[in-house]
Amino acid sequence: MQRVAIIGITGVGKTHLARELAARLGLPHVELDGLYWGPDWSRSPREVFRSRLDAALRGDRWIADGTYLTRGSDITWSRADTLVWLDYRLPLVYARLARRTWQRLGKREVLWHGNRERLAHHFRDSPFLHATQNHFRHRWLVPELLGRPEVAHLEVEHFTVPRAAAAWLAAVAAGDGARELPPAGAAARLQAGESLG
């Protein structure tokens, strides 16, 4: 496991897991949001983002967090050897989003390219709305994308509860490695609506 892509809806905990995994395995961490968002919350044009993503993931070892299913998953997933999908219940994600929002607002945390989260953003471009919409969208789109032959090599870890992800992280850090799951079987089970976590 040298190149890991971590996906999931906003607020699910992708970056936290990526940082923990990168620290324990000694791998570089690439945050896709940092490639997409520019100063003053400007959105990178599709080809600019894809060019940055291509350059960032040319190495042999990395942990990448960020979903961007229709903008760059073909690049990320084709180069990854492992895909981790955090697929938690919406009430849990809402609670995490609320906690993250208040922390960022209270600490005036600086994000990518000097951006700071502002309360006004939640009325104009609510992450809670994005989380809700993408939760249901990902349930059908992720299995569909995993069924493509160009990503059949991926080892898929699908976690529906945080304790399963935490146990996996502990096992990986202890050197036990990830579970052996045939990629084709993983995609088939996802398409059937079964959990892999």
pLDDT digits (tens, 9 = 90+) for 130-189: 899 999 999 999 999 999 999 999 999 999 999 999 999 999 988 765 444 333 334 434
* Cα distances (angstroms) measured from residue 177 to each of 6, 50, 61, 181: 16, 31, 16, 12
Q: Is residue 196 part of a domain?
A: no
Structure tokens at 1: 């496991």
Q: Is residue 197 part of a domain?
A: no
Specify the residue for token string 């990526």.
18
pLDDT higher than 90, residue 32: yes
Specify the residue for token string 């995993």.
146
Decide: 66 and 77 in contact? Cβ < 8 Å.
no
Domain, as residue range, for 140: 3-191
For residue 49, the domain's CATH number is 3.40.50.300
Q: Provide the whole-model pTM.
A: 0.82
Overall domain count for the chain = 1
Q: Is residue 131 part of a domain?
A: yes
Decide: 75 and 149 in contact? Cβ < 8 Å.
no
Q: Is residue 39 part of a domain?
A: yes
